[in-house]
Structure formats: C-alpha cells, structure tokens
Structure 1
Amino acid sequence: MKVYTTDRSNDRSEPERIKVGVADHAVAHAGSTLVTSGLGSCVGIALTDVDAGVAGLAHAMLPAASAEAEAGAHGDGTRTRGNDTNSDVWKYVDTAVPALAREVVDAGADRARIEARVAGGSAMFEFESSAGAVGERNVAATREALEAHSIPLVATDVGGDYGRSLRLDVETAELSIRRAHGETHVI
C-alpha cells in the first residue's frame, strides 16, 4: 500500500481532489474529494465513516474473478492508493469490498460506523452472458459482498442505460452522481 501525504496547511479553501481510475481505489480524510468517471456497467463503491472523517472509493469492473472467465472477457491529507502488484483486487467487486473496508479502517474509521453508497451497474450494451448483464451482476455482487461484511448499504443509484461520474465528499459522505444525460443526483 502506498501512502501519499499532502501539506494543505496553507490552503483549506478547496478540497483536495483525488482521482480514482478504473479497477482502482483511494482512501482519504475530510478535506478531500474522491472522484471517478466512466462508470457504465462498472460500480462505484463508497465506504464512509463521517465521525472519523474517513472515506474510500473503489471503481470495480466485474463481479468476481470467475465472472471474467465466464464472460470470456478479460482531514490530514493522508490517503492510500492501490498499486500495480495487487491491481486485480480492485477489478472485482468481491475482492474490492473487503479490501476497501480494511483500508478505511486502517485509515481511522470505526468498523461499526462504516456505511456504503453504490452507483453504476448500467446496461450499456446489448450483450449478455447466460448469467445476465454485467451491470446487474456487479450490483448484485456488491450487495452480497456488503451484506457478507456487515456493511449497511444506505443509498444507491444503479441500473439504467447511461454512464455516470461520481464525486464523494469525504467530510459529509455525500456522493454526487452526474449522469451522462446531464442530470445530477446526490445520495
């Protein structure tokens, strides 16, 4: 795990903006904003503890490693970020959820206060496997993983046939979703 620290003592007016790529994640403290874009069938999973001022955001592509084979597809400014040696962890929902929960706790969150917000899981293409559309399977896998790890899912913006971009305010835990057709929704 890499740790990045930014000295923001001179400028508290604008939150630090941390970009999360596809099959990636970031964990940050209050005073930061986590963003990701290009969510189609992928899911954005936000885990937050407002009292601790800690949140994490993962951008997962597929429900589980076995799903890839089936489809024939392939505060203080401190934050942590994935690296190339374990990037597959962030590619799959079933491994991203527990890994993100661990990193959020390691950053200071209380395990009992962590809440989840989820967005994405669109049906972007007409292609479906016998197991169903990837977006639907990603949403179902996310719900299952959160339940298995006793993390309450407090809000969702899932499904549809449009892309999304996310902006997570670490301090308030508000997840702002900008939909491809221009509408913005906050959960």
Structure 2
Amino acid sequence: MKVYTTDRSNDRSEPERIKVGVADYAVAHAGSTLVTSGLGSCVGIALADVEAGVAGLAHAMLPSASAELKREEAADDVHPDVWKYVDTAVPELVRELADAGAERARIEGRLAGGSAMFEFESSAGAVGERNVAAAREALDASGIPLIDSDIGGDYGRSLSFDVEAGELSIRRAHGETHVI
C-alpha cells in the first residue's frame, strides 16, 4: 500500500500541488503548482506576477453575483460565495495576489473553460460564453492584461498552473494538452 502525505519536510525537489475546487481559489508562490479539474462551462482564471513568484487560480461557476452578495462583500468580509462568481472572483483574486507580494502592474491573466457543455441556452446566452465575457470584463476593469486563453468548445478541461513559470497547462477531455 502506497501512502500519500502532504509532509514534504524530507523532499523539497518536487513542487507542491495545490488543488482548487469548484467555486474555490488558491494563491501560491514559486515551487508550487495550482490544479483544478472539471471545467466545463466554468472558467479557470489564472493570474500571475512571475517576477514576484506569486500566482493564483480561481474556478468560477457563474458570470455574476447578485447585488445582495456584492453588498455583503462591501462590508469588508469575504463572502464564501465570492469564488462562485466571475465578477467577484477576479477582483478578490487580484487583491489576494497583492497581499501575497504581487505587484499589481505586473499581474497577467490567462483564461480556460467556458465550454458549451449542454444544448440548453437561455435568452442571455450559454453560461460558458457569459462566463468568458464576464471574465474578460472583470480583468479589464481590474487593469489585468489577458495574455492568452483556451475557451469555448464542447469539452471539459483540467488545468495545471506552474507558479514559477506562469504557464497554464490545459488538458482537454479528448486528450490534447495545450500550454498558454
């Protein structure tokens, strides 16, 4: 039986893998890899200041938070659902990166996901398309340049974000891997 542990006191050569769940995020420093899976219509928002060795990854489900949630956030407490919505996750992730030592002017963004996983589409458009549009808008509003993206399609994705290199590796459900 093989035993897995997060105790790396004896082995510093292997990068730390930090899992990001749905409606979740993580911020890490060089030597770490941020990973998430199950991106369908959700978007993975990867932000990095490579020079500072700080990066973050959010896995957002829906384009926009309700006005009530936004009012609660204004009270200076981070509402647990902030990571569920693209329009609240992006500015919060930028703030978290700055708190971890990133220089706001050097943060660059990458996006993945936003697939059309189902035939259902509302009058406002498919959720994946709306998530991508909301992410682009939120990045622009935060002054974060979008370096590259792997969006759309009708397939799922898994992400691996190398904090040190600032490279986002995207494994598509049909087996192809793409690095941006």
Corresponding residue number in structure 2 for 1:76? none
**Aligned equivalents of 2:11, 2:60: Cα separation in 1:** 32
TM superposition score normalised by structure 1:
0.85
**Aligned equivalents of 1:136, 1:124: Cα separation in 2:** 11
**Aligned equivalents of 2:26, 2:127: Cα separation in 1:** 23
Of residues 90, 93, 98, the one that matches 1:105 is 98
CA drift of 1:92 comes to: 0.2
TM superposition score normalised by structure 2:
0.88
SS in 1 for 2:124: coil
Corresponding residue number in structure 1 for 2:130? 137
CA drift of 1:141 comes to: 0.3
SS in 2 for 1:65: coil
Corresponding residue number in structure 1 for 2:158? 165
**Aligned equivalents of 1:9, 1:49: Cα separation in 2:** 27
AA in 2 matched with 1:101? V
**Aligned equivalents of 1:8, 1:94: Cα separation in 2:** 36
AA in 1 matched with 2:20? V
Q: Residues 49 and 183 of structure 1: is their aligned pair in 2 closer, same or farther, counting only changes over 3 Å?
A: same
**Aligned equivalents of 2:85, 2:96: Cα separation in 1:** 16
Corresponding residue number in structure 2 for 1:42? 42
**Aligned equivalents of 1:124, 1:21: Cα separation in 2:** 19
**Aligned equivalents of 1:66, 1:123: Cα separation in 2:** 23
AA in 2 matched with 1:43? V
**Aligned equivalents of 1:107, 1:141: Cα separation in 2:** 25
* 1:16 and 2:16 matched: yes
AA in 2 matched with 1:113? R
SS in 1 for 2:79: helix
**Aligned equivalents of 2:46, 2:172: Cα separation in 1:** 17
CA drift of 1:13 comes to: 1.2
Corresponding residue number in structure 1 for 2:147? 154
AA in 1 matched with 2:34? L
Offset from partner CA, 1:36-93 (integer Å, 9 cap, x none): 00000000000100000000000000000249xxxxxxxxxxxxxxxxx722100000
- Kindly tell me the number of residue pairs found equivalent between the two proteins: 165
Corresponding residue number in structure 2 for 1:128? 121
Percent identity (aligned): 84
**Aligned equivalents of 2:13, 2:79: Cα separation in 1:** 34
**Aligned equivalents of 1:87, 1:59: Cα separation in 2:** 13
CA drift of 1:7 comes to: 7.8
**Aligned equivalents of 1:171, 1:123: Cα separation in 2:** 31
Offset from partner CA, 1:116-141 (integer Å, 9 cap, x none): 00000000000111000000000000
Structure 2 alignment gaps of length 5 or more: 1-5, 68-77
Cα root mean square deviation, aligned: 1.6
**Aligned equivalents of 1:39, 1:133: Cα separation in 2:** 15
**Aligned equivalents of 1:28, 1:137: Cα separation in 2:** 28
